[in-house]
């Protein structure tokens, strides 16, 4: 269960006005363990004087909290300029954070930003998902015993990338992605992760099968990128620039 009020109270402690704060990580991906912490990600707005002056404000703000009852929270937000710049790069993280349906804090500008960001994905975003999958595969491949979490991340990012290349839509929830992919072994892994601890492990004998699946889905993502209807370049820069200027002007009142 997601403690929405507790998360809202934590986001309200943020030292800068938040454009939005959403839940990311395992809760967004659909496979939180009972002891998973909460990853909040967002975008804040620095006042104009901290952007224009000699002493720049904090482009990234990180807040952590661990309570006696085991509640753990990690909140990371970027200033609007930095966040908008990341949107214009081949960065799937920020797209997933922006479009997360698990919303803790929102504003009208959040909705406007989501609409603008629909013109950010390109077919070259598949490089982000290939790179992230490779990192998680290496983690899975070197650990003994092998943990379920890294291999679930492998499947999640590859299926998210394939879905994005085919539809232009961001979907980060592995349960929903697997409704289309219909991979029974993924469903079994999710069930094991949901029922067990964060560091739940998997049988070593299953590793060769997952390697074959990893290679197969990598090839599938590369093939999807080749025929993707997504453009080669994002077209959202002018609209993002206009929104950023308006946000800065609001801080000058």
Residues 6+ apart with CB under 8 A from 83: 19, 43, 94
In which domain, by residue range, is 149 found?
Answer: 123-226
Q: What DSSP state is assigned to residue 16?
A: S
Among 104, 230, 213, residue whose Cα is nearest residue 167: 230
Do the beta carbons of residue 151 and residue 205 sit within 8 Å? no
Band of residue 253 on the pLDDT scale cut at 50, 70, 90? low
Cα distance from N-terminal residue to C-terminal residue, the chain: 40
In this prediction the pTM is 0.95
Among 10, 3, 100, residue whose Cα is nearest residue 64: 10
Q: How much of the chain exceeds pLDDT 90, in percent? A: 91
Instruction: Please indicate, yes or no, whether residues 80 and 177 belong to a single structural domain of this protein.
Output: no
Question: Is 72 in a helix, a strand, or coil?
Answer: strand
Instruction: Please indicate, yes or no, whether residues 95 and 144 belong to a single structural domain of this protein.
Output: no
The tens digit of pLDDT for each residue in 57-102 reads 899 999 999 998 889 999 999 999 999 999 999 999 999 999 999 9
The tens digit of pLDDT for each residue in 158-191 reads 999 999 999 999 999 999 999 999 999 999 999 9
Domain count for the chain, please give it. Answer: 2
Instruction: Please indicate, yes or no, whether residues 109 and 149 belong to a single structural domain of this protein.
Output: no
Instruction: Please indicate, yes or no, whether residues 19 and 115 belong to a single structural domain of this protein.
Output: yes
Instruction: Please indicate, yes or no, whether residues 159 and 79 belong to a single structural domain of this protein.
Output: no
Instruction: Please indicate, yes or no, whether residues 107 and 130 belong to a single structural domain of this protein.
Output: no
**CATH code for the domain of 239:** 3.30.460.10
Q: Encoding tokens for residue 125?
A: 């975003």
Task: Please state, in angstroms and rounded to a whole number, the distance separating the CA atoms of residues 87 and 94.
Answer: 6
Instruction: Please indicate, yes or no, whether residues 45 and 152 belong to a single structural domain of this protein.
Output: no
pLDDT above 90 for 51: yes
């Amino acid at each position: 269960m997601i403690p929405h009020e507790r998360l809202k109270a934590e986001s309200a402690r943020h030292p800068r006005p938040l454009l939005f704060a959403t839940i990311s990580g395992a809760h967004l991906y659909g496979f939180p363990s009972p002891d998973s912490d909460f990853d909040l990600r967002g975008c804040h707005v620095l006042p104009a004087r901290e952007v224009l002056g000699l002493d720049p404000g904090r482009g990234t703000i990180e807040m952590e909290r661990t309570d006696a009852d085991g509640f753990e929270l990690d909140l990371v937000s970027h200033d609007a300029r930095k966040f908008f710049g990341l949107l214009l790069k081949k960065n799937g993280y920020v797209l997933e954070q922006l479009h997360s349906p698990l919303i803790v804090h929102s504003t009208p500008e959040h909705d406007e930003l989501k609409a603008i960001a629909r013109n950010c994905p390109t077919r070259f975003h598949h490089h982000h998902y290939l790179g992230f999958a490779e990192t998680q595969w290496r983690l899975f491949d070197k650990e003994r015993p092998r943990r379920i979490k890294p291999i679930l991340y492998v499947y999640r990012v590859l299926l998210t990338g394939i879905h994005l290349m085919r539809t232009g839509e961001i979907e980060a929830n592995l349960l929903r992605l697997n409704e289309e992919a219909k991979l029974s072994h993924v469903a079994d892994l999710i069930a094991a992760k949901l029922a067990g601890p964060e560091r739940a492990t998997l049988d070593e004998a299953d590793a060769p099968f997952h390697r074959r699946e990893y290679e197969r889905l990598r090839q599938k993502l590369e093939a999807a990128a080749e025929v993707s209807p997504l453009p080669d370049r994002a077209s959202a820069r002018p609209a993002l620039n206009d929104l950023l200027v308006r946000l800065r002007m609001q801080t000058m009142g």
